[in-house]
Structure 1
Amino acid sequence: MRCRWVEIGVLGLVTVLTGAQAPPPASIDVTVHEGTSMSVAVSPDGRTLAVDLQGSIWTLPAAGGPATRITDIYNDARQPTWSPDGKWISFFAYRDGGYDIWTVAPDGSNQHKLTWGPFDDREPIWSHDGTRIAFSSDRGNALGSDYNIWMLDTRTGGLRQLTKAPSDDYMPSWSPDDKEIAFASAREDGQSVWAVNVADGSERKVSSAAGRVDAPSWGPNGQIVYHVTTGGGRGGGGGAEGSRYEIAGRPLTGSENVFAFRASWAASSDFFYVSDGKIRKRSAGGGSPQTVEFAATLQVTRADTAYTHRKRDFTSTSPRQVLGVVRPVISPDGKQIAFAAVGDIYVMPVGGKPENITRDRALDTDPSWSPDGTELVYSSDKDSEHLQLWIRDMRTGQSRRVTHLTTQPQGATWSPDGKRIAFFNVDGMWRVAQMSVLDVASGTVTKVHDTLAQPGTPTWSPDGKRIALAEVAPFTRRFREGTNQVLTIAADVGRPFQGRPGAEPERLALRGAGNIAGAGTPQRGVLRPDNDGDKWYAPVPALSIDSRGGCGPVWSPDGTKMAAIYEGVLAVWPVSTAGEPLGPPRRITTESAHAPSWAGDSRHILYQSIDKLRIIDVETGEVRTVPLDLKYTPAIPKGRIIVHAGKLVDMKSPTVR
């Protein structure tokens, strides 16, 4: 299952003193006459249009008029297409953890799935004989693949892959005789229409354009309408900005902003499409388009009536319990815990009281113990505009700054020999970061990996030769969707990372380990060669480590195990000295878990569970709670600050004051 977070508002049942239920929030009707990122498909008899609008499938008369929603609001349904007999409307939807192919009757009944699995299936299109559906899919290696054209036999449910080039192939369209399928492709800079022979899989280039090509649509007379993007948009290249349809290099739609979806043929020369938010109909031979007017009524709920506003206390100076504990780490001897809270670093004996060891006005965060337990490294912005690394000698109580960077080092972790510290070095917006290593004795910082997308906290192999971290493994280059998996990189500071453009890292997914609980014996997957030494591992193919922030992986000090958070709980799996999984992850908690940290015995793990700290014995499963009583007193500002605002949006009126 790929990760997609969805916020769901839960409306509690509120009772008044009489015991009666409060009325549900009133909905408001909003009628629209245009759509954004909307596609259209005409029925085989030419009487009805299906469109995707605000995540649902709607139907309306082909001549225009009111639209009727036939699917609910929970589908994220896209790009409808009609079966040749008019009995089904197929589409792809993100209803069950990923994009799958679905179908529904035109009256909204009998909605059901046609494809399953962790991969994305998109852009279905029916064959003219009604026996097959072509679609694009990133089915393949869970650690990275590409989109290909696939075919579903609607009689048997069998699947067959048609294209196999190492490029993204997508948006299929059947030839009039069903012998070929046209498609768009990322090959050759994405500026061509290609076709694959359904019988033997041979491919040919059909046409090219001076811009990015999408959404070919094969007409009854053999002509192919395709979409072309030019200018600085998504892969449009140079030239003037444009978003249009073409046939064999001939522009069809003038200055219209045509949406990049397949045209839907109504006759031998006429087709429907969407441009400028409007449904249009035009002839492939030229001329002006006809606009099909429609009205779709959506129901929305006023947010301010959907919940009870919480009362906030901004003025009380009464002590409050600390709830935001950041990166708790257990000392190698298992006797102490360090963590960050309310901007400072705290250390406490297991079962004792926490002591504030920084006590300053700076932001102090991300502590980590040295292997012998005599030092702590942490990030702090004291004496600097940015976070820097500091080391505190736990014997003397003295701290020293060890980095002087223009970037922001975070997530510091000591090497097993205590001579180096690995960290992610934030060098851009949204916490994109290089991976770097500090030589503690000399203060030299060496970049060991180019910038990554929000990398996780590093963890060292037992021999100090490799660093593992959580990083997003995109399913394809076409979209950003992917899963958080284990990336291991070379830690050899004598060989700084030199990224090769387009380099493919080695990737290994455990086959046959379909889920954590009760997974079968894993089999080795296929490695992709990479000269730069990166290796990816998927302990559970297509299942994501929950987050790259605080969910692992963490390597046990003896190098035999890794731990991470999967589906909200703590899991442990055996690994080789290089970090390769040797078995499937095993759940060792049943409660919510976060921020795992190994003790030096490689048997006990400290973790957070909501507002509690726990220590678990990974062999026996015994769990004990570490009491944490830490309170703070809010610093209530004194005095008055006057803010001079030229204009004010009060969030109550559309008028700016």
Structure 2
Amino acid sequence: MRTILLAALLASAPLAAQSRDPLQEGLPLKPTRTVAFTTKVGHWMSLDVSPDGQTLVFDLLGDLYTLPMAGGKATPLTRGMGFDAQPRFSPDGKRVVYVSDRDGGYNLYQLSLDKRDTVQMTRGKTNTYESPDWTPDGKYVVVTRNMKLHLYHADGGTGQQLIREPAPLRTLGAAVSPDGRYIWYHARTGQWLYNTPLGDYDLMVYDRQTGQAATRSSRWGSAMRPTLSPDGRWMVYVTRHIDTTRLRIRDLRSGDERWLVNRVQRDDQESRATLDVYPGMSFTPDSRTLVAWWDGKLWKVPVEGNGAPQEIPFEADVSQAMGPYVEFNYPIADSATFIVKQVRDAVPSPDGARLAFTAMDRLYVMDWPNGTPRRLTTGEAGEFHPAWSPDGQSIAYTSMSARDGGHIQRVASSGGTPQRLTSLSAYYSRPTWTLDSRRLVALRSPFRAYEEAVAGGVGGGNDDIVWIPGTGGEVTVVAPAGGLGNLHFANDSSRLYAYSGQRGLVSMRFDGTDQRTHLRVTNAPAPGGQGAGPAASVITMSPLGDGEAMAQVSGDVFIVTVAQVGGTEPSVVVNAPESSFPVRKLTDIGGQFPTWSRDGRRLHWSIGNAHVVYDLAAGRQFDDSVRATRRGVPADTTRGANRPPAPTFKPFEKRILISAPRDIPQRTMVLRGARLITMKGDEVIANGDIVVRNNRIVGIGARGSVSIPSGARTIDVSGATIVPGYVDTHAHVRATFDVHREQVWSYQANLAYGVTTLRDPQTASTDVLSYEDMVMAGKVVGPRIYSTGPGVFGAGNPQGNNLTSLDQARTVLKRYSQYYDTKTIKQYQVGNREQRQWVIQAANELGLMPTTEGGLDYKMNITEAIDGYSGHEHTIPTFPLQADVIRFLAESKMVYTPTILVAYGGPWAENYWYETEDLLGNEKLKRFT
């Protein structure tokens, strides 16, 4: 078994590692259950023929098997939680090379068939590997690593990249010529493309002597997966012909081509193809027969004559070790009141004694930290972005309503009737006072930009930086915003600071001139990545102007140094082993809406309905004491050079608890006379009664058969058909961010089409928490809203984290369990197998039900089912799925939401509706969209 390692490795392994469950292999998640069944079909099976022609090796659901060439019972070569795939016999037939994630990341391994030991050829957990193949002398393996062909020696070494330019070129499916000189492969620009027009992959040949590459086939349906005969005469490849994937054969002596098989499994060129665009095929040693897989079966195909393919029957015992299935049941809340989930844009008063914020799009103030929140106005327009005047007597904010449009308002900090400061309706955001209170600066876009925004942000390149007098008046344009936002001042009102991820931290005069860039802040690049990581979402200068700034990066808050270097502005990288200038990370769980106190001594931020205050001097003193203590403590030699994580400073945190009445109708009604399609099998009641009390259905049956409470209102719905409300488990109904809608068209459209409950898996922002609050309170009409909140992303995503431990995964997921209260998460390609297992371990501990992003990655999809993830979003791209995968997924209990409209591995079904329906003429659509 592959779980038997080399004796030398075992001898040096720690006792704890030796006591692990062998099926766990090098992964952090311990298996607790097994999915076992016998199958005569398999999905996406890469195979190879042994040099003597007697044996096949193939992969099936992440394990390797051998099979006599005549067929029969397959013998497992490997077992365990690791996903093993794409095996290839060595030229002497004694070893098999394959790809596995058994240690937490993808690597190359060799399995010795006589000794049954496993040798790991490559190291690291941040690389990807696909489609290895041996050179004829057995000394080297050619494999795709991170999109590029690499050459590795069988006895060790770090390998050599063969093709570097052009950088976006992806090279896959290496097939080495019998003389060892040439490497055939298929290549495309980029990794994948939604709704591809095809023609993505070309056949290429690389010359190991000259280092030159040349194109050998370019077709509309692509040319992929070259497979060479041992005698060097034949080359078989995969291509798409109209809507069918076929095998085509080329005589390399003459260049002539013909069809070999007219229909095989649909190829995977319309996804990321992490197991290549087609499973590996192989010739028999006499070069007369091709062995390939399609339709769940193994086939022998004669390459000459008109012989039909012959099936190689097999039977395999699947026995897959599985992680614990993570599932929780949550009651639907029906209480009369609820606690508001989110406070937004909380800002302290200049003296720090009060806090202004918005909740459910209304402006509140409270004495900090022990006061009771109270509204400042009585209006019904949305209120956003509070900003204290420097004297603490007034609060400016933006308002938005369908009746009055958007404006900048000002209200006394003690409450009262607001004063409208702008005369022209527009989309205003983020007002900020000058230090002398004489002016307010803000961003402004035309009101139509807000009206026309479908979802997400507003602006569209039409935004300007403007100022108005602090008492109201005409608007003066400072400069086109050009993506800049986060307007603020340091200790001098003559220079206005602004920030964008593209331009960095910029300052300018009030006429928009003399623009200077002061700082750029980025996250560390993803492991194995090149160049800079994602830019900070916010940078704000200290109000003291003392060479420090606050930066928000991937949801965390940092203090960074703003150095004067002359020439090119400094660039600071956070979350890196080293940075050009000092960096302090202030958050562990993360935070939103970060802002300075006026005296520059504290940082404030919110998360969910909690508000956090970080005392910079106290935090610095704590960190200094920890460093001094740890300098005197030697490293724990039993842990190698590692020490336990250092303790971190805990800032002050306060929950802001606002209770709101839940919108529950208080009446009883009877819906009479409709045709009822019930959830009781295929039952249809031709003329029925439905009794509804408050917000619950309490009776349903044929007309007159249901007890009618006295005082109930009866509504005649004859001629209608009533079905149970639909639950849309994958609905991205994103409304505008930041400045929220009074009513959300996508919510109303879903209701109009019968969706009464929806779940948004990956909301891109936390605005959904406020929208959910407002739907519960009846302020926004919509279905019952559930969501995962923003996805749990990995390194390289602007909202992502490079998880380095289970503890860090627990910390990140506490955002969702303790602050967002989503009860579910979407693990959105958070990283390698180890990192994905950390996430599901943390989710299980924290009571969070995890779903996953399909990611156009069949291999990842299967491993997530193995690891116990309870949900899967979007289609598995390798279509059609065979019976073994269907049974495996069913027994894993993973819930599969294919989405269809956004298809992975094929054209989007959205296009079907454009072709078959008059969407522009549909009256219901026109009314609600």
What residue is the counterpart of 1:272 in the other structure? 291
Instruction: Work out which of the residue numbers 223, 235, 246 in structure 2 matches 1:224.
Output: 235
Query: Within 2, Cα distance between the matches of 1:430 and 1:266?
Result: 57
- The answer on 1:353 being equivalent to 2:379 is no
Residues 4-23 of structure 1 deviation map (CA, whole Å, 9 limit, x = unaligned): xxxxxxxxxxxxxxxxxxxx
Distance 1:126 1:431 in 2: 50
Q: Cα deviation per residue 1:549-602 (whole Å; 9 max; x = unaligned)?
A: x99532022585453356x86444446798752354445347422325031556
Q: 1:96-107, aligned counterparts within 5 Å?
A: 99-104=106-111
Written as runs of structure 1 = structure 2, the 5 A alignment for 1:231-242 is 240-242=242-244
Matches within 5 A, 1:177-192: 177-186=179-188, 190-192=200-202
Aligned counterparts of 1:430 and 1:270: Cα–Cα separation in 2: 56
Per-residue deviation, residues 59-100 of structure 1 (Å, max 9, x unmatched): 444433445555556444443333334444433345666544
CA distance in 2, matches of 1:394, 1:68: 78
Q: What does 1:63-102 correspond to in 2, within 5 Å?
A: 63-67=70-74, 70-71=77-78, 74-94=81-101, 99-102=106-109
Is residue 657 of structure 2 the alignment partner of residue 630 of structure 1? yes
What is aligned with 1:41?
48
Instruction: Report the number of matched residues.
Output: 535
- Give the corresponding residue for 1:616: 614
CA 1:375–1:308 in structure 2 vs 1: closer, same or farther (change >3 Å)?
closer
Of 263, 286, 290, which aligns to 2:281? 263
More displaced, 163-172 or 290-299? 290-299
Alignment partners' CA distance in 1, 2:300 and 2:455: 43
1:194–1:206 Cα contact (<8 Å) kept:
yes
* Structure 1 counterpart of 2:585, from 585, 588, 601: 588
Cα 1:40–1:601 change in 2 (3 A) is farther
The change in CA–CA distance for 1:376 and 1:150 in structure 2 (over 3 A counts) is farther
Q: Which residue of 2 aligns with 1:556?
A: 540
CA RMSD of aligned residues (A): 5.2
Segment drifting more, 581-590 vs 123-132: 581-590
Per-residue CA deviations over 1:352-409 (Å, capped at 9, x if unaligned) read: 33234577888x69746489686565686x538xxx866443445357999989xxx8
Counterparts of 1:510-589 in structure 2, within 5 Å, are 538-542=522-526, 553-558=537-542, 560-564=548-552, 570-574=557-561, 581-585=571-575, 586=583, 588-589=585-586
Aligned to 1:136: 144
Structure 2 gaps of 5+ residues are 1-30, 190-197, 251-256, 268-276, 435-439, 468-474, 490-494, 509-516, 576-582, 621-649, 684-722, 725-929
On the 8 A contact 1:468/1:489 being kept in 2, the answer is yes
1:512 corresponds in structure 2 to: none
Greater shift, 257-266 or 426-435, is seen at: 426-435
Aligned to 1:481: none
SS in 2 for 1:288: coil
State the shift of 1:129 in Å. Answer: 2.1
- Aligned match of 2:205: 195
Structure-to-structure mapping, 1:388-407, within 5 angstroms:
391-395=408-412, 397=418
Deviations 1:22-59 (A, max 9, x none): xx998664554444444333344444434344444444
| Deviation by residue 1:328-360 (Cα, 9 ceiling, x = unmatched) | 443484735455545655444431332345778
Of Structure 1 and Structure 2, the greater helix share is in 2
- Per the alignment, residue 134 of structure 2 pairs with 126
Give the match's secondary structure for 1:419.
strand
Task: Give the aligned partner of residue 177 of structure 2.
Answer: 175
Distance 1:192 1:539, change over 3 A: same
> Which residue identity does 2:612 align to in structure 1?
R
Give yes or no for the alignment of 1:253 onto 2:261. yes
Pairs within 5 Å for 1:366-405: 367=385, 369=387, 382-383=401-402, 391-395=408-412, 397=418
3-state SS, counterpart of residue 627 of structure 1: strand
SS at match of 1:101: strand
Give the AA of the match of 1:556.
Answer: T
Residue 79 of structure 2 contacts residue 320 of structure 2 at CA under 8 Å; is this kept in 1?
no
Q: Which moved more, 1:214-223 or 1:395-404?
A: 395-404
Sequence identity (%): 21
SS in 2 for 1:325: coil
Residue pair 2:373, 2:658 contacting (<8 A) in 1 also:
no
CA distance in 2 between partners of 1:427 and 1:65 (Å): 64
CA contact (8 A) 2:488 2:498 kept: yes
Give the drift of 1:416.
9.2
* Cα gap change, 1:343 to 1:129, in 2 (>3 Å): farther
TM-score (norm 1): 0.65
Residue 468 of structure 1 aligns with which residue?
A: 500
Task: Please tell me whether the aligned partners of residues 182 and 196 of structure 1 are also in contact (alpha carbons under 8 angstroms).
Answer: yes
Which whole-Å CA distance do the structure 2 matches of 1:41 and 1:61 have between them?
12
Secondary structure of the corresponding residue to residue 226 of structure 2: strand
Q: Which has the larger radius of gyration?
A: 2
- 1:162 Cα offset (Å): 0.9
Alignment match of 2:312 (pick from 292, 296, 308): 292
Q: Structure 2: which amino acid aligns with 1:90? A: V
Whether the 8 Å CA contact 1:575–1:583 is kept in 2: the answer is no
Closer, same or farther: CA 333–54 of 1 in aligned 2, 3 Å: farther
Identify the residue that residue 667 of structure 2 maps to in structure 1.
639
Separation in 1, partners of 2:94, 2:398: 64
Contact conserved, 1:102 with 1:115, CA < 8 A, in 2?
A: no
Q: Does 1:325 align with 2:342?
A: yes
**Compared with structure 1, are the counterparts of its residues 88 and 639 closer, same or farther at alpha carbon in structure 2 (3 Å cutoff)?**
farther
1:257 is paired with a residue whose SS is coil
Are residues 1:152 and 2:152 paired? yes
Q: Distance in 2 between matches of 1:63 and 1:345?
A: 76
- Seen in structure 2, the aligned counterparts of structure 1 residues 582 and 538 have a Cα distance that, compared at 3 Å, is closer
2:361/2:384 contact within 8 Å kept = no
Q: Distance in 2 between matches of 1:38 and 1:402?
A: 68
Letter of the 2:310 counterpart:
Q
SS in 2 for 1:621: helix
Q: 2:162 aligns to what?
A: 162
Unaligned runs of 5+ in 1: 1-23, 139-146, 231-239, 450-456, 470-485, 493-532
CA change 1:608–1:302 in 2 (3 A) is: same
The change in CA–CA distance for 1:180 and 1:583 in structure 2 (over 3 A counts) is: same
Whether 1:213 aligns to 2:223 is yes
Distance across 2 between alignment mates of 1:103 and 1:489 = 51
Q: 1:431 to 1:189 in 2, by over 3 A?
A: farther
